[in-house]
Amino acid sequence: MPELPEVEVTRRQIEPWLLGRRVARVETTAPSYFFLTAPARLRRALPGRSAVRLERRGKYLIAELDDGSRLLLHLGMTGQLFTAGAASVRLLSAAARAALAPEEQPRFAPDAHTHLRLFFADEGPALLFRDVRKFGKVQLLAPGEDCERLRRLGTDALALDGAALFEATRGRQVAIKSLLLDQSVVAGTGNIYADEALFLAGVRPRRPARRVSRAECEAIAAAMRRVMLRSIETGGSSISDYVSPAGVDGGYQDERHVYARRGEPCPSCGTPIRRIVLGQRSAHYCPRCQR
Ligand SMILES: [Zn+2]
């Protein structure tokens, strides 16, 4: 599932293909829960507009348009935002992928899962939003329109501050990892980076939040920023469907310490990494290095 680093990598790579380009035509799939704004309205409202800014908040991308309206994009579980012509085997169905030799990476042809296509007046590459499982979201906000989804987001994980995290943990019985995954507390965190930050800070994922010390909160916040920045630098994690807009896999998955490494030796002490289930999500930790 794309987390903050993957969304930020997407933002940086999509930005030059979006800003200042006037939309000429919009194609969508049929209405579904993917569209928070009816597809017919998107097809009517977007042509003629161009984006002046592309921002990220938590896992949301927000394109500010030249008339002051905003186009909100969320990649959900399997969303892929890329330009037409990107080449990657991750953009093919599993069956199509299996039939290909690794060196044959054909160009992507829009399929039934490509829910939104923006074509531009300059006739350059179209921008495509594909999402196999459709947990992604598209919403068009009128100028000045309030958005509850954005309003309820907590501090962006890249700006997470130890003192603020310590405040947020006081009196909370919930496991520290579940608190870190709560988007109203820390926006942008997901399973991979929460596990990694807790490992680096030496705190067990299941520890009640109220029993995490001020110094540990400082360590968690610093580790969170560090793993996220490092992941952005390496192009994000390509563990499941994530693919960057350029069709290139991220490299962060090769640097994981604990996430999805159950049974493998801890990189610090050699103890096998444990996997537990916490709030219906998996959590990975070293029973020796994390308390
Ligand atoms: Zn260890």
Annotated active-site residue 137? The verdict is no
The pLDDT of 199-217, averaged and rounded, is 98
- For this structure, is 2 an active site residue? yes
> Confidence band (pLDDT; 50, 70, 90) for 236?
confident
**pLDDT reported for residue 98:** 53
The pLDDT of 237-266, averaged and rounded, is: 74
- State what percent of residues in the chain have pLDDT above 90: 74
What is the rounded CA–CA span in Å between residue 16 and residue 232? 17
pLDDT tens per residue, range 49-59: 999 999 999 99
The 10s digit of each residue's pLDDT in 138-174 is 999 999 999 999 999 999 999 999 999 999 999 999 9
HSE (CB half, 13 Å, CA atoms) of 9? Answer: 28
Query: Residue 290: pLDDT above 80?
Result: yes
Ligand 1 center from residue 233 Cα (angstroms):
26
**Parallel, antiparallel or unpaired: strands 51-57 and 70-74:** unpaired
Q: For residues 88 and 7, what is the distance between their CA atoms, to the nearest angstrom?
A: 18
What was the pLDDT predicted at 78?
A: 86
Active-site position among 11, 59, 177, 274: 59
Q: What is the 3-state secondary structure (H, E, C) of 165-199?
A: HHHHHCCCCCEHHHHHHCCCCEECCCHHHHHHHHH
pLDDT at site 49: 98
For 61-111, the pLDDT digits (tens) are 999 999 999 999 999 988 889 888 765 545 544 445 555 555 554 556 778
Q: 195: CA distance to ligand 1 center in Å?
A: 13
pTM reported for the whole predicted model: 0.84
- Taking the centre of ligand 1 as the mean of its atom positions, its distance from the CA of residue 283, in whole angstroms, is 15
State in Å, rounded, how far the first CA of the chain is from the last one.
27
Helix axis angle for 214-233 and 191-201, nearest 10°, is 130
How many angstroms does the Cα of residue 224 sit away from the middle of ligand 1?
18
| Residue 188 burial class via C-beta count within 10 angstroms: exposed 0-12, middle 13-18, buried 19 and up | buried
Please tell me the distance between residue 212's alpha carbon and the centre of ligand 1 in angstroms: 19
Please indicate whether residue 281 is annotated as part of the active site.
Answer: yes
pLDDT at residue 240 tops 90: no
